[in-house]
Amino acid sequence: MKNKSESITKYQLLFMILQTQIGVGVLGLPYSVHKVSKSDGWISVIIAGLVVQLMIFIIWSLVRKYPGETIYGIAEQITGKFFGKFIGAIYILYAIVISTLILVLFQDILKLWVLPNTPKWVIMFLMVFASLYLVKERVRVIARFYLFVTSMIPFLIILTFISFPEVAEYRYLFPIGQAGAMKILLGAHSVLISMLGFEMLLLLSKYVDASDRSIFKFVSIANGTTTAIYIFLTMISYVVFSPKEIEIVPQPVLYMLKAITFKIVERIDLLFLSIWIVIVTTSLMSYLLFASKGLAHFLKKEEHKKAAYVLAIPVYLLALIPQDKFQVEQISTYIGYASYLFIAILPIVLWMLSSITSRNSKRR
Amino acid sequence: MKRRRYPKQIKSKSKQSMNSYQTQLNTTKQPFFEELDQNIKFIKDSFFNADDVEFRTFTFNEKKCAILYLSTLVNKEVMNEFVIKPLQDAQSGNIAETINTAQVDHSYDLMKIVRGMIEGQCAIFTEGNEYAYLVNVFLTKFRNISEPTNEYVIRGSHEGFIESLQTNIYLLRKRIENPNLFMKYVTIGKTTNTKIAIMYIKDLADPQLVKTIEDRLNYIDTDAIQTPGYIEEFIEDYPLSPFPQVLNTERPDRATANLMEGRIVLLMEGSPTVIVLPITFFSFYQSPDDYNSRWLVGTFLRAIRLASFLIAIGLPAIYIALVSFNLEVIPVELVFSVKNSLEFIPFPPLLEAFIMQLTLELLKEASVRLPSPISQTIGIVGGLVVGTAVVQANLISNVMLIVVAITAVASFVVPSNEMTTTVRILGFPLMIMASLFGFVGIVFGLMILLMHMCKLEPFGHPYFAPFAPFHLQDFKDTVIRLPRWLMNTRPLDAKPQHLRQEWPSRGWKKDEE
């Protein structure tokens, strides 16, 4: 059922997953992990990467059984019309909430670093408008854009490398395992929210024009790349800032970039943030796409243009609800826990149900 | 095809309501009358007894004959020498065989005779025959082939297209001497009956594309086509996009190069500009010069041109963002000099930039329209306005002046006039964004621009290839210009029927070892 003008290549899949995974969390990751697992945060990142890999495997084994279907169609096929619709609806809700969260966190950092006086509804409007402008297009067009902007991620790495100060202290990382296994595992949980995005596979598997194996391979590569970038960023942050310092710098990478200056550009953190804006926008677009494809599925439409328009409104309005920093933190913790339902529990349940039903139908 | 919303068009009940004389001319048929005089009278009436309808009678095969023509359209010397003289010398025989011209036609339809005469043919009537001969004796009056003034090159062909369709086709046929170079006439414009030629290489151009173009051309239902711009607007996919979706060129070598990549060329009678399509963004940055210089030089120039795109749309915006939001980005020493120049300026940077950009546009427009002796005046006046005087008067800061000047120069680097204008216009929204949100605004502006370019698929072919969709192979003739012997394949974006275009041409290296 793969529509020729809608299909994407496996490379495009790779970059779509990668761009969705690397998002708003990338700046605060070292800080938030450090709160739990101290200087062993990078081990937590590795563990989180492995856990995500496992979840990718689960999701992949689910979607490979239903080529030509998104999660919305799969849920209906496995659990029937009513429950399927219900599962689809909560997935849409999940995507909306995550979009909102991205929007709120994005605005927070932008306010903190670049535009302290611009009202938040303006920045959010800009963001939603930009996302909507692309999300209403075909998946293939979106994938093209993602592929193009992925070329900016190496710049992020290069910028970080250039600004790597000479005073790095490697001993901050030692002794390895000082936080204890339990803390490290808990730290992996706080990494996970920054790694979300691989569940796009639930949606995109329908559009990829590639074999099952290569889908798994390329999604794994995407996850591996994300994990590697995160390890790199956390490690750099931990050797540049002492454990005491890191507790007071919520965006360690930016602080590090801010410290150094060049002959012609004095604030590299602004350059970094500019690229980061694009990366966050792609994450927001992915979740908007996820939700609007779902809504379009409910309305029995192949095109999701109108659905995207409709869904952008609640996302924007939800993000406008006034909230303070602690509430946002609270909410993101809840979402962190809730996300397990969508990236692990539901796929596992659906997968088990589908293997039971398929065995039954084979017997018949 | 994707459904798109177009501005509302007047629904045409056309076919009945249009009773223009020309429609009648194109569609109706009129058999011959028995009497020669009646036929002549009909023809004269068809032209409303215009003064340039002339005829002379003579006897042939002992029958009364008449030759009718529009004296303003036919070449009288040719007609006398090759039509009338042989007929009078022979006095009898077959008319078609007696006449000494390449093409002799005949028709039983008087309306077709009228149409032929309007194209510059002369009609030969004979008493008692229900048909007439049409002989091509049209007058050709064209300017010489000269170099197009808007697309100069340093090295390379100095020929340009002219206003004659035939000459233009000749120029292309001369460059690609191959029967595969296919051409087809389409007549558009119910009153003007303008001849359009579609040219492409039969075994190269995407048949799907050819069909699309032909369909869209056939769809054009209008009284007049006066410039290729009309055709462009009728057939383009995205009327709202700022980007030109076809390439207009006056250079036969540029058209030929595009033909060889499997693209289609549309030529129009009376216009030295031809349309090339489908096109990518990077086609606008290719110039024949690139291929006539060494590849390293070509690559360098390409890179400069593409950088000019970014400079032209981004530089004023970046300056505005710098001075109104983030002066701390630039080093302290520079901050002092910039601030110094801004000290006495009464306007915000955005207004400053707008004033200067618009002044520049005014000057540019004025110098195009004015006759060349006067346009020197504009140069002097412009030099004063966009010069030190305006800085000394503390109206514009001198840094802004430099920024605007660099932007203007950068925008003129593009080897295509349409793209130059587009680039200049695109700078304005970015400037506004920069003045509202600083660098964040620029990032969002560029991002939306990029999304727009990724979206564009004029005639079903991606506009931003080879970047999106990404195709590494095709980079060899976009951002860089690799040596010819590395360009083994044609660019993918035009979907040519076969990709290979170069085989190991440097095989001699092995032989000589």
Looking up residue A60, the CATH number of its domain turns out to be 1.20.1740.10
> What pLDDT does A362 receive?
54
Return the structure tokens found at B34: 């028995």
CB of B447 within 8 Å of a chain A CB? The answer is: yes
**CA–CA–CA angle B42, B45, B48 (5° rounding):** 160
Return the structure tokens found at A10: 């496996």
Measured between beta carbons, the chain A residues lying within 8 angstroms of B439 are 114, 270, 273-274
Using pLDDT thresholds of 50, 70 and 90, give the confidence band for residue B7.
very low
Q: End-to-end CA distance of chain A, in Å?
A: 26
| CA-based torsion, B436, B441, B442, B447: positive or negative | negative
Q: What does the DSSP assignment read for B251-296?
A: -HHHHHHHHTTT-EEEEETT-S-EEEES--GGGGG--HHHHHS-HH
Closest CA to B4 of B276, B217, B247, B241: B241
> What pLDDT does A4 receive?
60
Residues B350-374: pLDDT tens digits? 998 998 888 888 888 888 888 877 7
Residues A112-141: pLDDT tens digits? 888 888 888 999 999 999 999 999 988 889
A281/B448 CB distance under 8 A: no
CB of B328 within 8 Å of a chain A CB? The answer is: yes
Using pLDDT thresholds of 50, 70 and 90, give the confidence band for residue B21.
low
Query: Buried b / exposed e across A228-252, counting CB within 10 Å, b at 16+?
Result: ebbbbbbbbbbbbbeeeebeebbbb
CB of B438 within 8 Å of a chain A CB? The answer is: yes
Nearest to B443 among A141, A261, A274 (CB): A274
Reading chain A (364 residues) residue by residue, the pLDDT tens digits are 445 667 888 888 999 999 999 888 888 888 888 888 888 888 889 999 999 999 999 999 888 888 888 888 888 888 888 888 899 999 999 999 999 999 998 988 888 888 888 888 999 999 999 999 999 988 889 999 998 888 888 888 888 887 776 777 777 877 777 777 888 888 888 888 888 888 899 888 888 888 888 999 999 999 999 999 999 888 888 888 888 888 888 888 888 888 777 777 778 888 888 889 999 999 999 999 999 999 998 888 888 888 899 999 999 998 888 777 788 888 888 888 888 888 888 889 988 888 887 766 655 4
Contact A178, A38 (CB under 8 A): yes
Nearest to A130 among B332, B447, B455 (CB): B447
The yes/no answer to whether this complex scores an ipTM above 0.90 is: yes
The residues, any chain, with a CB within 8 Å of residue A174's CB and separated by 6 or more, are none
> Average pLDDT of B239-250?
92
Evaluate if residue B10 carries a pLDDT over 70.
no
Nearest CA to CA, how far is A24 from chain B (Å)? 15
- The span from the CA of A202 to the CA of A53, in Å, is 14
Rg of chain A over Cα atoms, rounded to whole angstroms, equals: 20
Burial zone of A11 (CB within 10 Å; 0-12 exposed, 13-18 middle, 19+ buried): middle
Closest CA to B418 of B306, B268, B266, B273: B273
Nearest CA to CA, how far is A349 from chain B (Å)? 37
**CA–CA–CA angle B12, B13, B17 (5° rounding):** 115
Answer yes or no: is A86 within a domain: yes
* Structure-token match 């920069």, residue found: B434
> What pLDDT does A89 receive?
92
- The span from the CA of B356 to the CA of B363, in Å, is 11
Residues A307-358: pLDDT tens digits? 899 999 999 998 888 777 788 888 888 888 888 888 888 889 988 888 887 7
Nearest CA to CA, how far is A12 from chain B (Å)? 9
Q: Is the preceding omega at residue A119 within 30 degrees of 0, hence cis?
A: no
> Where does residue B193 fall: left (phi above 0), alpha (psi -120 to 50 degrees), or beta otherwise?
left
Evaluate if residue B479 carries a pLDDT over 80.
yes
Nearest CA to CA, how far is A141 from chain B (Å)? 6
Contact B396, B384 (CB under 8 A): no
3-state helix vs strand vs coil in chain B, percent to 5: 50, 15, 40
Burial zone of B331 (CB within 10 Å; 0-12 exposed, 13-18 middle, 19+ buried): middle
Answer yes or no: is A364 within a domain: no
Total count of domains within chain A = 1
- The span from the CA of B16 to the CA of B219, in Å, is 17
Measured between beta carbons, the chain A residues lying within 8 angstroms of B332 are 266
Nearest to B448 among A133, A137, A148 (CB): A133
CB of B449 within 8 Å of a chain A CB? The answer is: no
Name the helix (H) or strand (E) containing B148: none
Name the helix (H) or strand (E) containing A22: none
Q: Which of A145, A268, A277, A306 to mutate to test the interface with B (most CBs of B within 10 A)?
A: A145
Answer yes or no: is A360 within a domain: no
Contact B488, B306 (CB under 8 A): no
Name the helix (H) or strand (E) containing B126: strand B121-126
Owning domain of residue A105: 10-354
A147/B328 CB distance under 8 A: no
- The span from the CA of A195 to the CA of A93, in Å, is 19
Closest CA to B421 of B360, B371, B466: B360
Q: Which of A4, A120, A121, A144 to mutate to test the interface with B (most CBs of B within 10 A)?
A: A144
Answer yes or no: is A62 within a domain: yes
Evaluate if residue B469 carries a pLDDT over 90.
no
- The span from the CA of B94 to the CA of B61, in Å, is 9
The residues, any chain, with a CB within 8 Å of residue A211's CB and separated by 6 or more, are none
Nearest CA to CA, how far is A281 from chain B (Å)? 9
* Residues paired with residue B121 on neighbouring β-strands, in sequence order: B136
Answer yes or no: is A173 within a domain: yes
Evaluate if residue B448 carries a pLDDT over 90.
yes
Nearest CA to CA, how far is A276 from chain B (Å)? 10
* Structure-token match 């006095």, residue found: B91
Answer yes or no: is A89 within a domain: yes
Measured between beta carbons, the chain A residues lying within 8 angstroms of B447 are 130, 149, 277-278, 281
Contact B25, B115 (CB under 8 A): yes
Q: Give, in order, the Cα–Cα distances in Å from B101 to each of A24, A233, B123, B134, B358.
A: 78, 83, 13, 11, 58
B440/A11 CB distance under 8 A: no
Answer yes or no: is A361 within a domain: no
Measured CB to CB, residues of chain A less than 8 Å from chain B are 11, 110, 114-115, 118, 123, 126-127, 130, 133-134, 137, 141, 144-145, 147-149, 261, 263-267, 270, 273-274, 277-278, 281
Amino acid at B486: L
- The span from the CA of B385 to the CA of B360, in Å, is 9
A145/B450 CB distance under 8 A: yes
Answer yes or no: is A137 within a domain: yes
Evaluate if residue B14 carries a pLDDT over 50.
no
Name the helix (H) or strand (E) containing B57: strand B53-60
Contact B448, B318 (CB under 8 A): no
- The span from the CA of B415 to the CA of B418, in Å, is 9
Contact B87, B95 (CB under 8 A): yes
